[in-house]
Structure 1
Amino acid sequence: MDSQPLIIGLETATMAGSIAICRGEEVLATSNGDPGTSHSNTLLSDLDQLVKQTGIALGAVDLFAVSSGPGSFTGLRIGIATVKALAVTLKRACVGVPTLEAIAHAAGESELTVVLLPAGRGEVFVQSFSVSAGERVTALDAPSHLSPRTAIERYAHEKNICWTGEGMRVHSELIKGFAEALGVDLFDVVEAKDKSLGMVWKLAPLPVNLARHVASLALARLVQNEVHTADQLQAIYVRPSDAELKV
């Protein structure tokens, strides 16, 4: 079992954030943050506590992974700075996993998964993916930031969609309204099983711990030798920050 790489995954792109320590695909321990508390106040202490809980040494970690965006600008900077510091200090590789890709991975197998994540200013980040039975996630378009209505309209012509992400939860009534207007059956993922006839939209539950999916996708990148040095790790912002928009 110890031959499997030891990976720490950090997810700070969402309000709550999370941490996962994994040995290969095995999840050793997880921690979920508080959406009401800044990552800057809790991330390092939560990580330290989780490391002590598992009994591992940071020096034994093979790969540090972090959600690279889009998402909270402050959260992204904190998470990426933390992983860069760990990678440099311990001379380890690191990898950034796009936030929307990790959310799609968490939703499970689907020919078309549309991820919606709140982007501020009444908009959502949106991107579509396919997720294979082997959990390979393939981006079908580029991430963008749109109004919720425009984002849903972009994919409304599709026969079968798995909607997921915090933006899906926030705007579920809008999705339901589109489904009713189009005559599309709408189910949660469990109810939608075996309902393959006609147009079916599914609402996937939100992941309890997104960091474990960041770690899982990082493992796949490690196997393919698609990891980075600290100076290569970059955030995916998609849109300018509020501070930049005010300039």
Structure 2
Amino acid sequence: MKVLAIDTSSMVATCAVLDEEKVLGEYNLNQDMTHSERLIPMIKVIMDSLNLKIEEIDLFAGAVGPGSFTGLRIGLATIKSLAHVVDKPVLGISTLEALAFNIPFGGIVVPIMDARRNRVFTGIYQWENGILINRFEPTIMEIDELIEKVQSFEEKVVFNGDGTAIYKDSISEKLGSKAIFAPIHLNGARASSLGELAMLKWNRGQRENYFDLVPEYLRESQAQREYKKR
């Protein structure tokens, strides 16, 4: 099985092709939010470099959020269009779950993505018998509320995601040695993690189609909030 995975939910644009044994190719770019201009060329570079045609992809995987409203729409529209053209299945993967999957750690992993105004998108995950279990569903909350929740855990906790660069000092001050921070190369979205997760879920029987795949924003867009104010 060959999987094409993409994630444009954050500043990072990432795409990867992998099979059940290895990552065949991955392209990550963390520069600006020009995903609409760069995503298709990135996919083309990987596919051409691997001498693969889109018809040879068996499963398409895309990040469903949370994250940037525009980025999510671009990524999902792309993955759904490609799957539709070749009539192949798709799977949507939580951005937070894919971030947690970056950490091969036999304990608790807490990915945090900056949601501004001292808030983060977050979830709480734990490895059990080699399987990543969701202990707390993806949500948006104040960073202090998350720290308070984590304080009740006896185990050490690994934090990763772009929110660590912003809130590392606050987390360290209140959690001390209980908090472990991932190295920078594991803080960003990786399409290879997302693709492997999609393959695992597919093998466990999870199924979706390109008509039903939609973003999971977890909050209203700025345009919606401003409209309500008016």
| TM-score (norm: length of structure 1) | 0.86
2:222 aligned partner: 242
1:132 equivalent in structure 2: 128
1:155 counterpart residue number: 150
**Aligned mate of 2:182, from 196, 199, 204:** 204
Aligned to 1:53: 49
Task: Tell me the secondary structure at the aligned position of residue 126 of structure 2.
Answer: strand
Q: Which amino acid aligns with 1:139?
A: N
Q: Who is 2:210 aligned against?
A: 230
Query: 1:229/1:113 Cα in 2 relative to 1: closer, same or farther (>3 Å)?
Result: same
Q: Is the 8 A contact 2:172 2:179 kept in 1?
A: no
The alpha-carbon distance between structure 1 residues 110 and 201, as it changes in their structure 2 partners (threshold 3 A), is: farther
Shifted more, 151-160 versus 40-49: the winner is 151-160
- 1:81 aligned counterpart, secondary structure: helix
How far apart, in 1, do the equivalents of 2:189 and 2:98 lie?
A: 11
CA shift digits 1:88-114 (9 cap, x unpaired): 110000000100000111012233211
SS at match of 2:159: strand
Letter aligned with residue 98 of structure 1: S
What's 2:136 paired with?
Answer: 141
Structure 1 residues 1-247: aligned runs within 5 Å: 5-132=1-128, 134=130, 136-159=131-154, 160-179=156-175, 184-185=176-177, 200-206=178-184, 207=186, 210-247=190-227
Q: CA RMSD of the aligned region, Å?
A: 1.5
SS in 2 for 1:65: strand
Q: Is the 8 A contact 1:67 1:98 kept in 2?
A: yes
Write out per-residue CA displacement over residues 144-171 of structure 1, whole angstroms, 9 at most, x where no aligned residue. 1122222222212222211121112221
Where does structure 1 lack aligned partners over 5 or more consecutive residues? 186-199
Instruction: Give the Cα separation in 2 of the matches to 1:157 and 1:236.
Output: 28
TM superposition shift of 1:58: 0.7
Q: Give the distance between the partners of 1:209 and 1:243, measured in 2 at CA.
A: 26
- Contact in 2 for aligned 1:109/1:133 (Cα 8 Å): no
Percent same amino acid among aligned pairs? 26
TM-score normalized by structure 2? Answer: 0.92
Structure 2 distance, partners of 1:73, 1:226, is: 25
| Structure 1 residues 50 and 124: CA distance shift in structure 2, 3 A | same
Give the count of matched residue pairs.
224
Tell me which moved more, 13-22 or 31-40.
Answer: 31-40
- Residue 15 of structure 2 contacts residue 43 of structure 2 at CA under 8 Å; is this kept in 1? yes
1:4-38 CA distances to partner (integer Å, 9 max, x unpaired)? x0001101112112111101241011101233241
